[in-house]
């Protein structure tokens, strides 16, 4: 006589529901943060105005940095995210005039999405870059004085 002892096998699937988590595209973002185009990062517009340096420091305190490495999908996400006209991003030419680098990676921006007549380095004093919404409801870049208080876009991975 053959005896077989079958041990029951149980499989549990735990589904956690967390209020305030957004799942879209390739990013899973916490409350008030939105996916950054097709990248695996999330972004948020901060409407408290700060200098470029203070805005970057605030983003870094949040384990992120000013928004960087833009492509068409990310620019579209920015445009949909905000009605704000000017917001700091992580692009600057503080180390060498005319050489625009992303602060978070040190990579050269190519090609930056400059608006008309930009960059102009007005009064030889514009080394930081804002994303600005234009009249076509799309995003252009403009150089700006780093000390000017502006809204800012943070990005986290």
Q: How far apart are CA 150 and CA 155, in angstroms?
A: 16
Q: How far is CA 15 from CA 12, 23, 28, 99, in A?
A: 10, 14, 15, 48
Are the C-beta atoms of residues 81 and 45 closer than 8 Å to each other? yes
Per-residue pLDDT reduced to its tens digit, 92-146: 999 999 999 999 999 999 777 999 999 999 999 999 999 999 888 899 999 999 9
Name the pTM for this structure.
0.81
Q: Is the confidence at residue 19, as pLDDT, over 70?
A: no
Q: How far apart are CA 142 and CA 116, in angstroms?
A: 9
Residue 23 within a domain: no
* Boundaries of domain holding 80: 33-156
CATH number at residue 79: 3.10.100.10
Residue 27 within a domain: no
Per-residue pLDDT reduced to its tens digit, 63-74: 999 999 888 899
Q: How many domains does the chain have?
A: 1
The predicted pLDDT at position 135 comes to 87
Q: How far apart are CA 54 and CA 129, in angstroms?
A: 14
Reduced to 3 states (helix: H, G, I; strand: E, B; else coil), residue 122 is helix
């Amino acid at each position: 006589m053959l005896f077989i002892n079958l041990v029951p096998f149980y499989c549990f699937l735990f589904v956690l529901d967390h209020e305030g988590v957004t799942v879209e595209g390739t990013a899973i973002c916490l409350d008030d943060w939105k996916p950054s185009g097709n990248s695996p990062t999330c972004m948020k517009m901060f409407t408290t105005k700060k200098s470029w340096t203070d805005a970057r420091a605030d983003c870094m305190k949040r384990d992120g940095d000013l928004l960087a490495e833009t492509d068409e999908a990310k620019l579209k996400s920015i445009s949909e995210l905000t009605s704000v006209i000017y917001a700091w991003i992580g692009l600057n030419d503080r180390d060498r005039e005319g050489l625009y680098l992303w602060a978070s990676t040190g990579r050269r921006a190519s090609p930056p999405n400059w608006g008309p007549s930009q960059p102009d380095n007005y009064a030889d004093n514009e080394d930081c870059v804002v994303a600005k919404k234009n009249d076509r409801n799309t995003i252009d870049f403009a150089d700006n004085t780093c000390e000017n208080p502006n809204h800012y876009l943070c990005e986290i991975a």
